[in-house]
Amino acid sequence: QVQLVESGGGLVQAGGSLRLSCAASGRTFSRYAMGWFRQAPGTDREAVARISSGGASTYYADSVKGRFTISRDNAKNMVSLQMNSLKPEDTAVYYCAADIPPYSTTWYDGMDYWGKGTLVTVSS
């Protein structure tokens, strides 16, 4: 069982920045691929970013490329999402998720464990 706890959400003005963090339990965190997803009111959950177990590969939704950066610290069992140039349309609940082996064949789904989410609100 993997437990994920997100933090760092809040209210920010358009153009501002936030850094989300996710603390993961488990002694094999370095084997998990990790991802961030988001869900705005009335919409389906969407993939935002993913990072491979060792951190060498990253993937981003087109809507956040160039603005968001996913990173991880395997020594601390942490994954982060640096969000810059935030827009009102980035407003959503952001979820951290883990993909344990065997890994999903796509970067945007197939996660096995989920956190409870943290709310990000971007005002115009």
Report residue 55 as tokens: 């951190």
57-69 mean pLDDT: 97
pLDDT over 90 at 21, yes or no: yes
For residues 75 and 24, the answer to whether their CB atoms sit within 8 Å is no
Question: Tell me, what's the pLDDT at 57?
Answer: 96
> What is the rounded CA–CA span in Å between residue 30 and residue 52?
9
For residues 24 and 77, the answer to whether their CB atoms sit within 8 Å is yes
Q: Residue 37 is inside which H or E element, if any?
A: strand 33-39
54-66 mean pLDDT: 97
Question: Tell me, what's the pLDDT at 4?
Answer: 97
pLDDT band with cut points at 50, 70 and 90 for residue 75: very high
Beta-ladder partners of 19? 82
Question: Tell me, what's the pLDDT at 26?
Answer: 81
